């Protein structure tokens, strides 16, 4: 599963620098996560770094339209590297 940023985002930028895949960028109103690059930090960290550092609860959530298994996320991470 990739993550997504909700409208609860306060555009603080805490997530930008910590994404190991550079999947986060500024959108028109809030930050956005590129689902093709987001691996939820599987294979890199124990938990999604952006989500753990975000100061707003529920600003970064699982994208219900992009469900991927742990194995799929690991394969995606290998391709990105």
Q: How many other C-beta atoms can be found within 10 angstroms of the C-beta atom of residue 80?
A: 14
All residues at 6 or more sequence positions from 19 whose CB lies less than 8 Å from its CB, including other chains: 38, 49, 50
pTM here? 0.88
Percentage of the chain exceeding pLDDT 70: 100
CA distances from 70 to 9, 13, 17, 56 (A): 26, 27, 23, 25
What is the pLDDT, as a whole number, of residue 49? 96
Q: Is 26 helix (H, G, I), strand (E, B) or coil?
A: strand
Domain range 3-80, its CATH number among 1.10.10.10, 3.30.70.20, 3.40.50.20, 3.10.330.20: 3.30.70.20
pLDDT given for residue 78 in this prediction: 85
Q: Where are the domains of the chain?
A: 3-80
Residue 46 in this model has a pLDDT that exceeds 80: yes
| Torsion-angle region of 5 (φ positive above 0: left; ψ -120 to 50: alpha; else: beta) | beta
């Amino acid at each position: 599963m990739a993550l997504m940023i909700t409208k609860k985002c306060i555009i603080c930028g805490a997530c930008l620098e910590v994404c190991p895949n550079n999947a986060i960028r500024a959108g028109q109103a809030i930050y956005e996560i590129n689902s093709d690059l987001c691996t939820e930090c599987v294979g890199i960290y124990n938990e999604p770094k952006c989500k753990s550092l975000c100061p707003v609860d529920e600003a970064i959530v699982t994208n219900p339209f992009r469900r991927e298994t742990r194995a799929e996320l690991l394969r995606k991470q290998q391709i990105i590297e």
